[in-house]
């Protein structure tokens, strides 16, 4: 698991993304997070996902994945959504410690937590997919609407704007905003407290929370994911992605 580190905090694991400064999402990161999740399920009672001080996660590794053909991109995108669903439905208490920017696919990863704690200051979170000519992934759309409500989610997804973690706290996307040096400890404290509760009862309650999103996604994911792929490979979108890829390389 070269792009992910598991840090033992007794009953809770910190799952730290360690894929360079940006923690860009590529096939290796997806596989390493997936493997780490299996370790967490066997050995811990809760998990905190964390990134770096500059980026929690910048999103998809555009300079790399823009060169994928349709088959390879489809496999990558479906695998990413499988991971998001596994994280979202993990039958343990989870929290994302967002000390850096969480943009696009990075915001999707942050949405998988039961809770999100963010660092104060100019740290941005949001889903800008519409500006690149693709829809936010269907699963992320469902999770966001459950998390912040339909009106706030619609505003975010239609406009594709990033917001600071402080502003995100006003509509429930971030649960608590703290000084950066306090974020991870506060997240561990929260998850540790929940992990001490009877596990079967907690897991049942969480299953109730996630079941509607899970059922809706599984009923329609093939057609909805193909809409994303169709948009991704349309010629106007390819030009937008190339420009975004050039900016990505300067991050």
Please give the model's pTM, rounded to 2 decimal places.
0.97
Enter the tokens of residue 102: 């969480």
The reported pLDDT for the residue numbered 249 is: 67
Domain range list for the chain: 4-181
Q: Which fold has domain 4-181?
A: 2-enoyl-CoA Hydratase; Chain A, domain 1 (3.90.226)
The reported pLDDT for the residue numbered 139 is: 98
> Rg (Cα) of the chain, in Å, rounded?
17
Phi, psi of 230 (to 5 degrees): -60, -45
List all residues 6 or more positions away from 129 whose beta carbon is below 8 Å from its beta carbon.
Answer: 104, 135, 136, 137, 157, 160
The reported pLDDT for the residue numbered 6 is: 98
Q: Model confidence over 44-88: pLDDT tens digits?
A: 999 999 999 999 999 999 999 999 999 999 999 999 999 999 999
State the Cα–Cα distance between residues 99 and 113, nearest whole angstrom.
Answer: 14
Could you tell me the sign of the dihedral formed by the alpha carbons of 135, 38, 185, 27, in that order?
A: negative
Low-confidence spans in the chain with pLDDT less than 50: none
CB contact at 8 A, 151 and 208: no
Collapsing DSSP states into helix, strand and coil, what is residue 36? Answer: helix
């Amino acid at each position: 698991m070269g792009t992910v580190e598991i840090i033992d905090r007794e009953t809770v694991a910190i799952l730290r993304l360690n894929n360079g400064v940006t923690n860009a999402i590529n096939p290796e990161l997806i596989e390493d997070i997936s493997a780490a999740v299996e370790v967490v399920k066997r050995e811990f009672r809760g998990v905190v996902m964390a990134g770096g001080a500059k980026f929690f996660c910048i999103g998809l590794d555009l300079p790399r994945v823009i060169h994928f053909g349709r088959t390879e991109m489809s496999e990558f995108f479906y695998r990413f959504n499988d991971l998001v669903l596994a994280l979202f439905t993990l039958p343990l208490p989870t929290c994302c410690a967002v000390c850096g920017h969480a943009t696009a696919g990075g915001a999707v990863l942050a949405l998988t937590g039961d809770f999100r704690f963010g660092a104060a200051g100019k740290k941005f979170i949001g889903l800008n997919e519409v500006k690149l000519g693709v829809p936010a992934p269907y699963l992320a759309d469902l999770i966001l609407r459950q998390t912040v409500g339909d009106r706030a989610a619609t505003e975010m997804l239609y406009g594709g704007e990033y917001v600071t973690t402080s502003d995100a706290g006003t509509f429930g996307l971030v649960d608590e905003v703290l000084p950066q040096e306090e974020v991870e400890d506060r997240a561990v404290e929260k998850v540790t407290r929940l992990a001490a509760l009877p596990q079967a009862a907690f897991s049942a309650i969480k299953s109730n929370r996630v079941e509607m999103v899970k059922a809706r996604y599984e009923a329609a994911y093939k057609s909805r994911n193909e809409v994303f792929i169709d948009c991704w490979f349309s010629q106007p979108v390819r030009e937008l992605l190339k420009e975004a890829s050039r900016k990505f390389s300067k991050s």
